[in-house]
Amino acid sequence: MTPATLASAAGVLRSIWIYRVRHPARRRRMDLLHGRFVQRGDLVFDLGAHVGDRVASFRRLGCRVVAVEPQPALQLLLRALYGRVHDVALVPAAVGECCGHLEMHLNLRNPTVSTGSTAFIAAADGAPGWEGQRWSRRATVPLVTLDTLIAEHGRPAFVKIDVEGFEDRVLRGLSVALPALSFEFTTIQREVALAGLRRCAALGDYRFDATLGESHALVHRRWLDADEMAAWITGLPPAANSGDVYAVLAPPC
């Protein structure tokens, strides 16, 4: 094996340990959270499927899943896990505002932060909590839009977007309001989250809540409008690091 292959394998194993093995209780929290937005039989899109832990959660809830992942090493893992199951469709691509191709910057030792955004890499450079991250390889991958995924697979009840600084561009490739979605935010690129909120507001009458880190617990006691969520994200301390914004057209019961 080459050093790059070994580093990639080590990175995938690290992600499997962190996201699928280390914290068994995390699965229950994840299922409880996702269960607020989906029902058995729903179609879900997982954009940035990584090692498939969210895919597993949606399947436990009885959903059909379209799992989209651009990284070659993670595509191999997802094919091994889900390539022969009837309720998961695997799409080896990135998602953005147009169709074509995208140059991915691969972090072999920490594939969860591989990205198609050079601005994300620049924001991470020197930021506390991001020390030692290296995007040492590049790969050109197919690029699709949410609209094209909907045309091919159907209208999802929920879309999870976790694409490392590309979230606003994913939302720009969506032209119809969906019942519910989530997108990751980071405190090193708050402007991406604010652009995502503006795009959601342009698509429909969304209300918002959020989780911090991998807590899988909504932090607010009510659903916020876009301005309120933007103010909350803007006011977070840098140490908050990251989380996910959840958006619904009508607050769930």
CA distance 124 to 174: 27
Q: Are 183 and 244 in contact (CB under 8 A)?
A: yes
CA distance 19 to 122: 26
Pick 78 or 20 by higher pLDDT. 78
Q: Are 210 and 243 in contact (CB under 8 A)?
A: yes
What average pLDDT does the chain have?
93
Domain assignments of the chain as residue spans, ordered by start: 3-248
pLDDT tens digit sequence for 188-226:
999 999 999 999 999 999 999 999 999 999 999 999 999
In the sheet that 158-161 helps form, which strands lie side by side, from edge to edge? 88-91, 64-68, 43-47, 158-161, 180-186, 242-248, 207-212
Say what percent of the chain tops pLDDT 70: 91
Average pLDDT over residues 155-167: 97
Domain 3-248 has CATH 3.90.1300.10: no
Q: What angle do CA 79, 83, 89 make, to 5 degrees?
A: 105
Going by their DSSP bridges, the two strands 242-248 and 207-212 should be labelled as antiparallel
pLDDT tens digit sequence for 57-78:
999 999 999 999 999 999 999 9
pLDDT tens digit sequence for 71-98:
999 999 999 999 999 999 999 999 999 9
Is residue 163 over pLDDT 60?
yes
